[in-house]
Structure 1
Amino acid sequence: MSDKKNNNSIFCNHGPTLWQTNQSGLLANNRLAVKDVFAVKGERNSAGNPHWFKTAKSAQNTASSVNKLMTAGCNFIGFTHTDELAYSLEGNNIHYGAAQNPKLKGHACGGSSMGSAASVAANLADIGLGTDTGGSIRIPASYCGLYGIRPSHNVIEKEGLIPLAPSFDTIGWLTQSAELLSSVGDVLLPQQAINKVNTLVICEALFELVDPSLQAPLGKLLEKTKPYFNHHIDFKLPKSSLLSELADTFRILQGRAIAKTHRDWLELPEQLSHFAPAIAARFKMALALTEQEEQEALKIQHEWQAIVAKNLNEHSCLFLPTTPTTAPKLGADTSALRMQIITLSAIAGLSGSAQVHLPLADLANDHPYGFSLMMTHGNDKSLLACVKHLAAHFKQDTPA
């Protein structure tokens, strides 16, 4: 009996199991868990919702990203559960349940790529393929103690992917090691120059966005990280209100993109009744947003894009917290936490930048935690090389 059948809170009941098309390649025999929003020829997706699955048609072709991983030798072990239509950061599905965090009993995995994260954290898979629109790779990576990448926007083809908000959707992945994270990038990412990243950029205001108990550990991680960069640059935001505007700006722009993509389907009679109340409310909010709200939000997005372009280049990366807290307990009310998370995750989203979470914190309570490094659009492979180098040195410096 496969791992898939033993872990119904992580893996879907539909889709292929132990499927392999090529036994050689860069990723030969690595077990691949795939978020249930990627097409596989002849199969249907649920996108986290039974009604969607019931009305879905079988895919005519396999998603290009899945095809590339299979050609590289991966062993597809199953589709994994996701929050409904990937429109949540919780990692909790009213229809299929919540996968418990394998690294922290009784706590959430985070979402929406919850099943892919849980499968890797539980050592049931080596690579968890998922998506990241508002943080759906980065948050589970932080909560589950994994490496996770949100690539630059649109550098990986989204053919065969069920969209949420195309102007922010990215295809990302989770692994237990920086080496494997980079190897997957060699398969999925396009040809890019790999530049030496010698400058660490620090914005102290970002540290104030995390729980007070985590500010000191983050400070220690920063001090441990600094020696691996030749230069350190501090920058201040031109106006403090920019941080408080981040989450709402992203909420509006993401919501407008969702409405433009799914309006006809969402406005069908009784359609929203098939979703959890919190997800349905989010869709209603998205459908009610106006063009004027979008235009105002676009102005703030352009400000952030200018800030990122001014302070980062192909040789520098930003040190930033990934999440404001460690993994919350299963069933906890995370409605307020959602906007706090988005304040941090929107920086990469609004600028189209590449961001990697590194699970390198050593907290006294054994809660997984770490930090992120972010680089400007198109520097994904430089970022992965930097993360691989940094992780190797952290490992050497850690006492046995």
Structure 2
Amino acid sequence: MRDPLGAFVPGGRVEPRDRDSGPLAGLSFAVKDLFDVAGHRAGCGNPTWKATHPPAETDAPAVRACLDAGAALVGRTVMDELAYSVRGANPHDGAPTNPEAPGRTAGGSSSGAAAAVAGGLADFALGTDTGGSVRVPASYCGLHGLRPTHGAISLDGVMPLAPRFDTVGLLARDGEVLRAAGDVLLGLDGAGPTPLGICLATDAFALASEPARTALTPAIADLVRRYGDGGTVTLPEDGELHAWTEVFRTLQGREAHRAFARWVADAQPAFGPEMAARWAFVSQLSDEAVAEADAALPHIRERMAALTSGSTLIALPCAPDAAPLLDGDDAAWADHRETVLTLNCAAALAGLPQLALPASRVHGLPLGLGLIGPPGSEPVLLRVATDLAGADSDPGARFD
């Protein structure tokens, strides 16, 4: 089977397995190569991982739910090493082509999943989102994406990165498909209620480039017209969102070290440069730094709970600009990754669901807008995705 985008891992295309009936009958899907698929070895972005783990005996529950609902599984997709990056370029399997922005990243770590969906090789895909690995690829590839409430979809049969923050996420070209798949995975039935206001996070909005802010403004205004004006807020009271980034980076790093330390010691994997640097960082985290981050987490969660009370949705960019060039220099990529983490850490730290909408275009390239809701507000978020489906008459403001 052809793979013109390099979206699937070598040998990752599979003969479609589906049923003739079910709510997802007639739809195809792909899975990030860290989900168990019966009879296949998950590579998790690293050849040593694949060599040291047996084929899965059963499908991960998220995969099985889609199959049981009638969707056809078409393959396993490229991902960043151990899902610990947003760059979207695997040193072993390559960088999937972004069909909406050739020469630019499809985003990580669910890079192949996003490329496959954007390029029409699958109707939707299962990815994972710890610190933005569904929301960022959705932004770069012009897709709908959903990071659910932490724990809402089973992570059984999925490689852990940072279990405190890991979620099974969804990517789809169409809002109706996103809702159909989301309904199956979340056990929902029918349209959810409308949100009770849209609130702009000004500190997050300020982190986007000026062209990105200009491009997103009409989309935000349209959401406010549709659902009501929730005003503006800063996420932390003092607006110092970068402090939250450090909390997330530290806690994610300690979780990743717990998840992989024994395997790294035993298998001595050959990491690419980025993952090698990441492993050096997590290996040197001090107990004091982790304790300080742990102490800060309850306040962050209380703050986000207060901001999203009453089904108010918080609007913020999913990324600071359009997808960066794949061959950009390392310093530029480091700056970009820092901002991406800062924009996406709030929902992750608080365990909240976030919808990524293909809201606009900047420099002719896709740009996503995020909406964070309270715990369990997936029906509301999916309602927004379907409300806006197909309303893209103006390439500069997809909702007009």
TM range, smaller chain = over 0.9
Cα distance in 1 between the residues matched to 2:228 and 2:143: 27
Distance change >3 Å, CA 183–CA 356, structure 1 → 2: same
| Structure 1 counterpart of 2:214, one-letter code | A
Cα distance in 1 between the residues matched to 2:149 and 2:320: 22
Is 1:366 paired with 2:364? yes
| Structure 1 counterpart of 2:378, one-letter code | D
Which residue matches 1:198? 196
In structure 2, stretches of 5+ residues that fail to align are none
In structure 1, stretches of 5+ residues that fail to align are none
Which residue matches 1:55? 52
TM-score (norm 1): 0.93
Cα distance in 2 between the residues matched to 1:133 and 1:236: 22
Which residue matches 1:116? 113
CA-based RMSD of the aligned residues comes to 2.1
Please show how residues 302-317 of structure 1 align to structure 2 within 5 Å: 302-317=298-313
Q: CA deviation at 1:354?
A: 0.4
Please show how residues 1-400 of structure 1 align to structure 2 within 5 Å: 2-3=1-2, 6-7=3-4, 9-15=6-12, 17-191=14-188, 194-237=192-235, 239-240=237-238, 242-268=240-266, 271-272=268-269, 274-332=270-328, 333=330, 334-363=333-362, 365-391=363-389
Q: % of aligned pairs identical?
A: 35
| Structure 2 counterpart of 1:348, one-letter code | A
| Structure 1 counterpart of 2:316, one-letter code | L
Cα distance in 1 between the residues matched to 2:102 and 2:39: 36
SS in 2 for 1:109: coil
| Count of residues in correspondence between the two structures | 394
Name segments (4+ residues, structure 1) moved above 4 Å: 392-400
- The answer on whether the counterparts of 1:314 and 1:379 sit within 8 Å (CA) in structure 2 is no
Deviates more, 1:334-343 or 1:16-25: 16-25
SS in 2 for 1:255: helix
Q: CA deviation at 1:315?
A: 2.2
Distance change >3 Å, CA 316–CA 58, structure 1 → 2: same
TM-score (norm 2): 0.93
SS in 1 for 2:324: coil
Counting strand residues as a fraction of each chain, which structure ranks higher?
Answer: 2
- The answer on whether the counterparts of 2:197 and 2:224 sit within 8 Å (CA) in structure 1 is no
Cα distance in 2 between the residues matched to 1:250 and 1:277: 22
Q: CA deviation at 1:393?
A: 5.2
- The answer on whether the counterparts of 1:178 and 1:387 sit within 8 Å (CA) in structure 2 is yes
SS in 2 for 1:388: helix
Cα distance in 2 between the residues matched to 1:27 and 1:167: 30
Q: CA deviation at 1:355?
A: 0.5
- The answer on whether the counterparts of 2:198 and 2:312 sit within 8 Å (CA) in structure 1 is yes
Distance change >3 Å, CA 30–CA 314, structure 1 → 2: farther
Cα distance in 1 between the residues matched to 2:58 and 2:374: 32
Cα distance in 1 between the residues matched to 2:185 and 2:371: 20
